[in-house]
Amino acid sequence: MADRELVQRVARGEEEALGELYRRHGTRVFRFALTITGRMELAEEVVQETFVALWKGAGSYAGRSQVSTWLLGIARNQGLAVLRGERKGGRAPGAPPELADPAKTVHAEEKRAAVWCAVQGLSAEQREVVFLAFYEALPYREIASLLGVPEGTVKSRMYHAKRKLAEVLS
């Protein structure tokens, strides 16, 4: 069943459809949220808020973008809201994500940890562009539409993110 049809079913109150959308998109939303917030517990909070927002607002989906992109847009708003709350509330830092895979070499793990730290060293605006381009493989036009900024801004954020990442990782 297509994502769009599932959203329509969610709008009619079908929990099974919400569960299917979660199975299809929960991980991408979580990883996006983790990239934005940098913390597991905050990313989990963002995923919850995103799918609850989907449950309440499925009827407002206009079908102008892919459901996955629409969900990432919701997640982004939720992520930024959570980050704003964090700054106000001053919660203690949480545990970083567990990147290690025992089957992989120590060298590869060290490299991934270094890349993750470098990504987290970017601004939130740069991190979201990096995720949407490199993980989601979204064209810059779609990213601009999702973020509500001009295409030139997306390219500029990526340009600076790329330079910063290259500096840190070189």
Partner 1 sequence: MNRDCELCRELLPWYAVGVVGAAERIHLEEHLESCAECRAEWAQVAELARAVQETLRELPSPGERVWGGITARVQPGPLARVDVGSFLLGVSVWLTVRGRHVLLGGDLRLLGRKYRLFAEEA
Binding residues vs partner 1 (CB under 8 A): 12-16, 18-19, 22, 26-27, 30-31, 34-35, 40, 43-44, 47-48, 51-52, 55-57, 59, 97-99, 101, 111-112, 115-116, 119, 130-131, 133-135, 137-140, 155, 158-159, 162, 165-166, 169
Q: Closer CB to partner 1, residue 106 or residue 137?
A: 137
Q: Closer CB to partner 1, residue 4 or residue 111?
A: 111
> How far is CA 2 from each of CA 116, 151, 167, rounded to the nearest angstrom?
33, 29, 42
Q: Closer CB to partner 1, residue 5 or residue 16?
A: 16
Identify whether the C-beta of residue 160 lies closer than 8 Å to the C-beta of residue 68. Answer: no
Query: What angle separates helix 40-57 from helix 15-37, to the nearest 10 degrees?
Result: 140
Nearest-approach distance from CB 52 to partner 1, in angstroms: 5
Q: Closer CB to partner 1, residue 40 or residue 80?
A: 40
Distance, in Å, from the CA atom of 60 to the CA atom of 79, rounded to the nearest integer, reads: 20
At 60, the amino acid letter reads: S
